[in-house]
């Protein structure tokens, strides 16, 4: 019975370490989820109300087509793109 003297304290210590990791992991996951929700909400608000965040109302929800945005100009016909 002399070997059992630290069973309770050893078990309590192991349980405390497990609980610490368990709670810390859950806080990490919940924090990441809330951060992603906040970023997504901000992006949606910028798209819905661009004039609030410094943009003009004409630039909201313009689409991602290069021809519409003006950032890229096609230099080949579509058929030639696939033949190269």
pLDDT digits (tens, 9 = 90+) for 50-74: 777 665 555 545 556 666 666 666 6
Q: Is residue 81 part of a domain?
A: no
Structural domain including 38 reads: 8-58
* Tally of structural domains, the chain: 1
In a domain, 43, yes or no: yes
Share the mean pLDDT of the chain.
76
Cα separation values, 22 from 36, 49, 65, Å: 21, 40, 46
Report if residue 39 sits inside a domain: yes
Is residue 82 one of the residues assigned to a domain?
Answer: no
Phi-psi category of 49—alpha, beta or left, where left has phi over 0 and alpha has psi -120 to 50?
beta
- Is the residue at 79 inside a domain? no
pTM over 0.75: no
C-alpha span between 34 and 32 (Å, rounded):
6
Q: Rounded to 10 degrees, what is the CA torsion of 15, 20, 22, 28? A: 180
> Does 25 fall in a domain?
yes
pLDDT value of position 1: 46
């Amino acid at each position: 019975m002399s070997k059992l003297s630290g069973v309770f304290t050893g078990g309590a210590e192991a349980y405390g370490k497990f609980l610490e990791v368990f709670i810390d992991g859950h806080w990490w996951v919940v924090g990441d989820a809330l951060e992603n929700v906040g970023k997504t909400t901000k992006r949606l608000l910028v798209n819905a109300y661009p004039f609030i965040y410094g943009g003009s109302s004409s630039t909201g929800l313009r689409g991602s087509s290069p021809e519409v945005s003006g950032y890229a100009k096609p230099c080949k016909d579509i058929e030639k793109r696939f033949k190269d």
